[in-house]
Amino acid sequence: MRFVDEFRDADKAHALAAKIAALCEPGREYKFMEVCGGHTHTIYKHGLEDYLPEAVTLVHGPGCPVCVIPMGRVDDAMHLASRPEVIMTSFGDMMRVPGSSGSFFDAKAAGTDIRMVYSPLDSLKIARQNPDRQVVFMAIGFETTAPSTAMTMLRAAAEGLSNFSVFCNHVTIIPAIKAILDSPDLRLDGFIGPGHVSTVIGCRPYEFIARDYGKPVVVAGFEPLDILQSIYMLMLQLSQRRSEVENQYSRVVPWDGNLVALRAIGQTMELRPYFEWRGLGFISHSALRVRDEYAAMDAERLFSVPGVRVADPKACQCGEVLKGVLKPWECKVFGTACTPETPIGTCMVSPEGACAAYYNYGRMNRTRVAEASAAGSAGRA
Amino acid sequence: MRFVDEFRDADKAHALAAKIAALCEPGREYKFMEVCGGHTHTIYKHGLEDYLPEAVTLVHGPGCPVCVIPMGRVDDAMHLASRPEVIMTSFGDMMRVPGSSGSFFDAKAAGTDIRMVYSPLDSLKIARQNPDRQVVFMAIGFETTAPSTAMTMLRAAAEGLSNFSVFCNHVTIIPAIKAILDSPDLRLDGFIGPGHVSTVIGCRPYEFIARDYGKPVVVAGFEPLDILQSIYMLMLQLSQRRSEVENQYSRVVPWDGNLVALRAIGQTMELRPYFEWRGLGFISHSALRVRDEYAAMDAERLFSVPGVRVADPKACQCGEVLKGVLKPWECKVFGTACTPETPIGTCMVSPEGACAAYYNYGRMNRTRVAEASAAGSAGRA
Amino acid sequence: MTAGSGWISDALREHEHADRPEVPGGRTELPVTDREQQVLDRIDRARRRRPRVREERITMSHGAGGKATQTLIEAVFLDAFRNPLLEPLEDAALFSVAGPRVALTTDSYVVSPLFFPGGNIGDLAVNGTVNDLSVSGATPLYLTAGFILEEGFPVADLTRVVSSMQEAAVAAGVSIVTGDTKVVQRGKADGCYINTAGVGVLLGDISLSVACAQPGDAIIVSGPIGDHGITIMLARGELDIEADIISDTAPLNGLVASLLAAVPGVRAMRDATRGGVATILNEIAKAADVGVLASEDDIPVRDEVRGASELLGIDPMYVACEGRLVAVVPGESAEAAVRAMRGHPLGAGAAVIGEVVADQPGIVRLKTAFGGTRIVDLLVGDPLPRIC
Amino acid sequence: MTAGSGWISDALREHEHADRPEVPGGRTELPVTDREQQVLDRIDRARRRRPRVREERITMSHGAGGKATQTLIEAVFLDAFRNPLLEPLEDAALFSVAGPRVALTTDSYVVSPLFFPGGNIGDLAVNGTVNDLSVSGATPLYLTAGFILEEGFPVADLTRVVSSMQEAAVAAGVSIVTGDTKVVQRGKADGCYINTAGVGVLLGDISLSVACAQPGDAIIVSGPIGDHGITIMLARGELDIEADIISDTAPLNGLVASLLAAVPGVRAMRDATRGGVATILNEIAKAADVGVLASEDDIPVRDEVRGASELLGIDPMYVACEGRLVAVVPGESAEAAVRAMRGHPLGAGAAVIGEVVADQPGIVRLKTAFGGTRIVDLLVGDPLPRIC
Amino acid sequence: MCLGIPGEVVEIHAETPDLAKVNVSGVRRLINIGLLSDDPPKPGEWVLIHVGFALSKIDEHEAAAAMEFLESIGQAYEDEIAAMRESLIE
Amino acid sequence: MCLGIPGEVVEIHAETPDLAKVNVSGVRRLINIGLLSDDPPKPGEWVLIHVGFALSKIDEHEAAAAMEFLESIGQAYEDEIAAMRESLIE
Ligand code: SF4
Ligand code: SF4
Ligand SMILES: [Mg+2]
Ligand SMILES: [Mg+2]
Ligand SMILES: [Mg+2]
Ligand SMILES: [Mg+2]
Ligand SMILES: [Mg+2]
Ligand SMILES: [Mg+2]
Ligand SMILES: [Mg+2]
Ligand SMILES: [Mg+2]
Ligand SMILES: [Mg+2]
Ligand SMILES: [Mg+2]
């Protein structure tokens, strides 16, 4: 696959790893946060940590769309879905996210009409096919996904579809990063910037990080070499005592983002005064809601939504994991009470969730792995 | 079973048979029509003909509710049923009656929403459970069944149910008997009168047969001894040169019928000017339709019904069988092209249809049967 | 809705028991890799625990072949059916059979409702297949079990079904040695369908076939007919009819063994299921090209079965049984056969109901209680409640 | 709508051929009983004719056990599967098996759509069960076939499915010797579900089990993985994705025979179906309590399977195959095994994909193409298309 | 015409006196007795049931009379048969 | 964040120029290119696909530059390794 395979080359990874190792100042520890869950996924899926020196630690950030949905919103969605006239549509990732009484998947098994879609546009197809039902799209995701929801709303409006609406849970990444930067218990040396969000918002929004907090940011692609190169670029900035926003993913991310996408979002959605993030609490101006002009497509206004706040289960330490304070395995219930089969926190649900990524791909003794790899004939490290 | 088993006693049957045989005038043939398909069913199911002398022949009449439904009405019903909002409800007997493009059963297999009910009241239950659908009850039957439809309509009206209607195909037996009496090609010596119809209409309506046509009528019950006794009573009238209406089934049939039932019919339905009977053609004042006062429950007015007339398949000789001109097996296609699996005519569908009754129960060589019975240890004739 | 907040507390309770060696001084004491390794070891122990189905309902995951499927198989099926042949959970069960010939049969069970007076789909699925083997003259040994579950099916119901299967298997002396589970979307099944295939062994040179029926043979039924079919029709509730009647579902291998021991010359046996006794009589008439003459008076039918049949306008001769067999034996062995069957609890109501005759080959006739004769043909269509 | 007015003309045409000896002078010539007898004889001849299913769609009657069921069995199933063991249509098929041990397996097939590029539910149902027997080391001999049909299912589709089954059975050298048909109400199934159980015989003392895997063993896959699963996902049409890819459904008994002939020391085989190759690797790790170390680069995956998987965010390792096996062989036999498999058309793409190791028992690790290592656990849930 | 089955009224439905529970050979069903409102059946009385409605009451007196007649001719017939047999034996 | 896959535009949908068929490793799907209306992709160009939408065009020039950099350090690394090996042999 073009633009994929060439960025998975092991030889180049060794070269980059050597460069990174060479940049390590003796005795210094480096902590970088990959903001985006897609990066977390790549890191574990490809075993990228095998290439990093001990001194470099990756901290998994809050950029997993599913992980930050608070339980109350899941319950609200479930409440909507349980209306007999409603067909709820949802991305596959969302299906296993636990609300306080089970997931969409459980509700579907119990008879609630919840259907999985690949694209928000599929919801329109379902709406057209079921004119006597109300199709509600469970909109989740960061700025990457919001434009697709926006385009789908514009399309529905153009068609005059009257039975399609959006339960809007889109969130914006910058306030979350800011919240993390402001949290007292975390020391980071730099950020691996979210590549796909940046195709929409561009690189400028990160400048305050470099400027005000003095932390380097490298917007990174999603292949393992992209991430390794970004780490190298961060190390290089640190060694040169620079703190800038750089774009490793320039083949995909334009510096100014996608204006059409931003316009579409702006036309249909506006910032909420505040929104609850799982583990991070309420963050102001951190999420989107449907604009008044599209009230007829706003499920929150069309149907009454209980909107109760549900406290996370006490055992759940997702907040600490999302902030990068705890490693996934350091959560007390990790792997015993909380597993991908029975996720207690949402970080255990999505393949982008730090806990799930670690559990599914990373759960092994790296020292022993390294030995085995060296010995094993099937490997080729 | 009380009122059943005691009327199935073989010893008494032998006694009656002997009495009947004794009444046969040498050289004379006796032809009695059992008007009612229920009687036809009893006759074959119990092998009653084994008790009758050669000189006595039973002619099967038109009193099978399903057999007289013309193809056009089945097609109309199918048209109604195929409307997406309609749930058609039907008695089991009706399910296999062929229209010009298959039966209800076939339509159901192809996805049409047709449900079997035991009682018309079950249709109300379905209507209550499906407030957004239109439940149409396929009403068929003679005066026996019409009161149940009428009571169901009255109940629906009392409840204010707005999604229940009736596709009314109720027919009345007297005009059909008159049509047979007037048909030139048939000579009958008397009638075994329909017992269950008579619980509703009583015995008086048959008086014209005795009076104007000089044929004896005995209203008969449905157990084999009832029929045998009725034949005996007919033979007795003939031997005494009487022609009267007698009531063999007095344990169930009041001479004046059931006034409540007649009132219920009269309140909800009225005579049609004419109606088509399969095989018998159009007979005036021979069927019921919904009264104007209940127009909101008349499927024929609520929905447009094509009302096309469909000619019976050319090979079909149901008309002759219904009039008693042909014995079932004398129809050219009997048992080869027309079988209960693939009925061409409706007489092959219902267990009360003469052809079906003969095919299912009677299809054997009676002479050989008699021999076998005599020899067989399992029998006890 | 599955789970409820209950599952979280459940999971946590279990977690408490995840024999975790406490790190004395808290996590700062050990280097990171050691602490991580301890967590991994704890997870490893938790994973090796006895699996438990936490969901209240079957979800698509239970059929996807992954962890949920494995948990379902181990916690529900293996746990109930446990035997050395099933236990390896390999692609096929391996065993030896001692006997010159092997009998193989299959049936799918789609009964609705799944639970009914006298049984449920589980014992039905075991007994039905045991019976097909038994009436073939085989000693039933091994069963397969294939489940098609509908998304949303309550796990508690599945557990009940499965434990009934095991009880039925134990009662019949057979083992369920291999199985399969598929889950289909909601609305693509009716809760639970089960297929069982069965393997039995024929000892000696027994040779049974309805084609062997000969004029003069007696036809015997092992007990009152139609109980199962009527029970099911009433259990559906649509007819609003109540009656104190229960399904006759039962394994017939014991009864068959008694019969074969007493009457080695038995010509054929069939278990009367769908289509009832009438269908079997027709199968005999057709296969052997003989006439069958049965006697209505001699056919055992319970009052309730008769009452319900009259109300619905159906004929008990066509109504299904699930624990009755029809046997064809030489006329001279009829008495011995009935005696042998009556000696077994499941044959207490055995009776000769007719005989094989030479004339009218292919046709089944019934001497009615009234003293007449009528044909009993194969049923056309379903036995539909009728008005006329 | 079934039939159409066409069925009447059909029936009449057939009636014309009902070799009816013409009564010379018409019916008045003969006494009534003789005429009646002639009609009865004519009917008798018509009834003994070859049965034919006239309906275009399956109706409830086809499952009621009466005439329609019998017609369906004879005209569709018996006609396609005809063999001496099936033909008596007794309650069980009887046969002898020559071999010390017998293998028994079952699987239900609920694939949707029923017809897909490269096959349909029919050949799938035969191949799948043949494969479970084959990978157990058995020579597949006899299959059962249990159908659950949905009211309204087109008879033409059923006929296609059944003839594919027969073709697959012939190709695999097995016979379908007993069967069962149930019909469920519209909306209670998805057209057609099939269960097949299979009996095979183990010759010699071959003993295969994933529990026998030992450190040093090589793990081999017989060809590119995931073709079937991706084909089915795309064939459903909901994803609007097109690709020139067809199911790999195939009978593996020939390939297994070649492998066993070349490498008698084979430890175990599994056919990779639901859950894909990843699940089998986990089964090995768990059953033998060993580690499994596979190499991403060595696992054959077609471009289209990879492309579709990337688009959908799923992992080909978990995608189903229906004609691929995973074999565990001693390390020293790996080369011979691959050579033997490549000599067979169904093993042309065979490759060593990993090895059994002693450390991290119970865990499957994958050396990624990138040179890292990751765990490959059992799949949780369905492979769901994902956005993130 | 149309199926009619005799059943014994077991009880009148308390809330809806339109309905009665009838017993047919040990099988019970609620049926509508609205068509007999001129003379509603009491428990112990028998009715004829058709499609869930009681169509008429069964007159035990008339039934007994019918049986009597049948028995009388049955008796006469048996006497005759017996006489014939005796004459044959003689 | 969120899955993004590179695909090659194969053709623009004739009736709805909002839609384009893309090819991902031999697999084709129609996707919405409305978000690229400022500079619509032409057949042969590559786009990044996310939930059925093209989110951005892939800049081949930038990709080549990135590759060049990676290759250069790869080369440098290999030279170094080779040098090291030689030094060991010596
Ligand atoms: S292990 Fe579970 S509860 Fe703990 S942080 Fe991870 S997802 Fe949250
Ligand atoms: S055989 Fe068929 S076509 Fe002929 S009269 Fe009877 S029902 Fe009608
Ligand atoms: Mg809903
Ligand atoms: Mg309809
Ligand atoms: Mg069977
Ligand atoms: Mg069976
Ligand atoms: Mg059987
Ligand atoms: Mg299986
Ligand atoms: Mg199997
Ligand atoms: Mg299998
Ligand atoms: Mg297998
Ligand atoms: Mg069967």
pLDDT value at A250 more than 90 = yes
pLDDT value at D311 more than 60 = yes
Indicate the pLDDT class of residue D60, thresholds 50, 70 and 90: confident
pLDDT of amino acid C52: 87
Average pLDDT, chain D: 90
Residue spans per domain, chain C: 6-48, 88-202, 210-375
Q: Which run of H or E residues covers position B153?
A: helix B146-159
pLDDT of amino acid C55: 86
The ligand 2 atom at the shortest distance from the C-alpha of residue B321 is 5
In the block, which residue shows the tokens 């691996």? A192
How much is the ipTM here? 0.92
CATH 3.40.30.10 for the C88-202 domain, yes or no: no
pLDDT digits (tens, 9 = 90+) for C150-193: 999 999 999 999 999 999 999 999 999 999 999 999 999 999 99
**Mean per-residue pLDDT, C322-350:** 98
pLDDT of amino acid C216: 98
Residues 6+ apart with CB under 8 A from E21: E9, E10, E11, E12, E13, E28, E29, E30, E31
Side-chain-side CA neighbours of residue A348 (13 Å): 23
- Chain D contact present for B119, CB below 8 A: no
pLDDT value at C1 more than 90 = no
Contact F51, F29 (CB under 8 A): no
pLDDT value at C197 more than 80 = yes
* β-bridge mates for residue C237, sequence order: none
pLDDT digits (tens, 9 = 90+) for D217-249: 999 999 999 999 999 999 998 888 999 999 999
Q: With the C-alpha atoms ordered D75, D81, D83, D88, is the resulting torsion angle positive or negative?
A: negative
CA dist B8 and C220 (Å) reads 24
Per the model's pLDDT, the better-predicted residue between F46 and D384 turns out to be F46
Nearest CB among A9, A118, A380 relative to D385 is that of A118
pLDDT of amino acid C339: 98
% of chain A exceeding 90 in pLDDT: 77
List the one residue out of E48, E46, E2 whose CA is nearest residue B145. Answer: E2
Residue spans per domain, chain F: 5-87
pLDDT value at A371 more than 80 = no
CA dist B234 and D186 (Å) reads 51
pLDDT digits (tens, 9 = 90+) for C360-372: 999 999 999 999 9
Indicate the pLDDT class of residue F86, thresholds 50, 70 and 90: confident
List the one residue out of A37, A46, A44, A45 whose CA is nearest residue A13. Answer: A46
**What count of other Cβ atoms lies within 10 Å of the Cβ of residue D325?**
27
Per the model's pLDDT, the better-predicted residue between B308 and C196 turns out to be C196
pLDDT value at B120 more than 90 = yes
**Mean per-residue pLDDT, E19-40:** 96
pLDDT digits (tens, 9 = 90+) for A301-351: 999 898 888 888 888 898 888 888 899 999 999 999 999 888 888 899 888
**Mean per-residue pLDDT, E64-90:** 82
Which ligand number lies closest to the CA of residue B107?
A: 4
pLDDT of amino acid B220: 98
pLDDT value at C97 more than 50 = yes
Question: How many angstroms separate the Cα of C354 from the Cα of each of A119, B377, C328, C360, D382?
Answer: 68, 8, 10, 15, 57
Per the model's pLDDT, the better-predicted residue between C1 and B295 turns out to be B295
**Mean per-residue pLDDT, D299-311:** 94
Per the model's pLDDT, the better-predicted residue between A79 and B352 turns out to be A79
CA dist C292 and C307 (Å) reads 26
CA dist D257 and D264 (Å) reads 10
CA dist D72 and D77 (Å) reads 7
CA dist A145 and A122 (Å) reads 14
Per the model's pLDDT, the better-predicted residue between A72 and D4 turns out to be A72
Indicate the pLDDT class of residue A184, thresholds 50, 70 and 90: confident
Q: Which CATH architecture has domain F5-87?
A: Roll (2.30)
pLDDT value at C238 more than 90 = no
pLDDT of amino acid B76: 96
Q: Which run of H or E residues covers position C115?
A: strand C115-116
pLDDT digits (tens, 9 = 90+) for C112-137: 999 999 999 999 999 999 999 999 99
Q: Dump strand ranges (E) for B186-300.
A: 190-194, 217-220, 245-247, 269-271, 274-277, 281-284, 288-290
pLDDT value at C225 more than 50 = yes
Question: How many angstroms separate the Cα of D330 from the Cα of each of D216, D222, D354, F89?
Answer: 7, 16, 12, 37
Indicate the pLDDT class of residue C6, thresholds 50, 70 and 90: low
Which class in CATH covers the domain with range D210-375? alpha beta
CA of C218 to the centre of ligand 6 (A): 23
Residues 6+ apart with CB under 8 A from A283: A175, A176, A179, A274, A275, A276, A277
CA dist B69 and B65 (Å) reads 7
pLDDT value at D26 more than 50 = no
Contact C47, A94 (CB under 8 A): no
Q: Whose CA is nearest to atom 6 of ligand 1?
A: A355
Window 161-200 of C: residues touching E by CB (8 A cutoff) are none
- For B96-109, the DSSP string reads G--BBTB-HHHHHH
**Mean per-residue pLDDT, A259-273:** 98
D190: exposed, middle or buried (Cβ count in 10 Å: 0-12, 13-18, 19+): buried
The ligand 1 atom at the shortest distance from the C-alpha of residue A354 is 6
Average pLDDT, chain B: 92
User: Strands C101-109 and C93-95: what pairing?
Assistant: unpaired
- Report the residue of chain A nearest F64, measured CA to CA: A251
- For D51-73, the DSSP string reads P----SB--GGGGTTSHHHHHHI
Contact C226, C124 (CB under 8 A): no
Question: How many angstroms separate the Cα of B154 from the Cα of each of B291, C114, E32?
Answer: 12, 37, 13
Contact F5, D311 (CB under 8 A): yes
**Mean per-residue pLDDT, B155-169:** 97
Question: How many angstroms separate the Cα of A263 from the Cα of each of A154, A296, F17, F34?
Answer: 11, 20, 20, 12
Which ligand number lies closest to the CA of residue A336?
A: 1
Specify the range with the lowest mean pLDDT, choosing from A236-240, A265-269, A336-340, C43-47.
Answer: C43-47
Q: Which residue stretches of chain F are H helix?
A: 60-89
Average pLDDT, chain A: 92
Contact B42, B70 (CB under 8 A): no
List the one residue out of B237, B236, B171, B167 whose CA is nearest residue B209. Answer: B237
CB contact under 8 A, D387 and F5: no
Residue to mutate, B96, B316, B346, ligand 2, most ligand atoms under 8 Å from C-beta: B316
Look up residue C37 and give its amino acid: Q
Buried b (16+ CB within 10 A) or exposed e, D76-95: bbbbbbeeebbeebbbbbbb
CA dist B308 and B276 (Å) reads 12
**Mean per-residue pLDDT, C355-384:** 90
pLDDT digits (tens, 9 = 90+) for A93-151: 899 898 888 899 999 999 999 999 999 999 999 999 999 999 999 999 999 999 999 99
Specify the range with the lowest mean pLDDT, choosing from B63-72, C308-317, C379-388.
Answer: C379-388
Average pLDDT, chain C: 90
Question: What's the CATH number for A71-172+257-302?
Answer: 3.40.50.11740
B and D: number of Cβ contacts within 8 A: 99
Chains contacting chain F through 3 or more C-beta pairs under 8 A: A, D
Look up residue A291 and give its amino acid: R
Phi and psi of B247, rounded to 5°?
-120, 95
List the one residue out of A102, A105, A80, A75 whose CA is nearest residue A91. Answer: A105
Which ligand number lies closest to the CA of residue B321?
A: 2
- Report the residue of chain D nearest A375, measured CA to CA: D357
Indicate the pLDDT class of residue A206, thresholds 50, 70 and 90: very high
pLDDT value at A191 more than 60 = yes
pLDDT value at D4 more than 80 = no
pLDDT of amino acid D295: 97
Contact D227, D248 (CB under 8 A): yes
Look up residue B311 and give its amino acid: A
pLDDT value at B185 more than 80 = no
pLDDT digits (tens, 9 = 90+) for F8-39: 999 999 899 899 999 999 999 999 999 999 99
**Mean per-residue pLDDT, E56-65:** 96
Which residues form the pocket of ligand 2, taking CB atoms under 6 Å from any ligand atom?
B 316-318, 321, 328, 331, 333-334, 338, 343-345, 347-348, 355
pLDDT value at C383 more than 80 = no
Contact F57, F45 (CB under 8 A): yes
Residue spans per domain, chain B: 71-172+257-302
CA dist D53 and D159 (Å) reads 10
% of chain C exceeding 70 in pLDDT: 91
Contact D31, B131 (CB under 8 A): no
Which residues form the pocket of ligand 1, taking CB atoms under 6 Å from any ligand atom?
A 316-318, 321, 328, 331, 333-334, 338, 343-345, 347-348, 355
CB contact under 8 A, D59 and B365: no
CA of C88 to the centre of ligand 9 (A): 13
Indicate the pLDDT class of residue A185, thresholds 50, 70 and 90: confident
Specify the range with the lowest mean pLDDT, choosing from B47-61, B313-327, C316-330.
Answer: B313-327
Mutate to test the interface with C, among E8, E16, E21, E27 (most CBs of C within 10 A): E27
pLDDT value at E3 more than 50 = yes
CA dist D122 and D198 (Å) reads 15
pLDDT value at A378 more than 80 = no
CA dist A64 and A41 (Å) reads 10
pLDDT value at C384 more than 80 = no
CB contact under 8 A, C65 and D274: yes
pLDDT of amino acid B381: 31
List the one residue out of C65, D158, D364, C121 whose CA is nearest residue A369. Answer: D364
Q: Which run of H or E residues covers position A56?
A: strand A56-63
Mutate to test the interface with D, among A46, A338, A355 (most CBs of D within 10 A): A46
Q: Chain A residues with CB inside 8 Å of F38's CB?
A: 259-260
pLDDT value at B374 more than 50 = no
C22: exposed, middle or buried (Cβ count in 10 Å: 0-12, 13-18, 19+): exposed
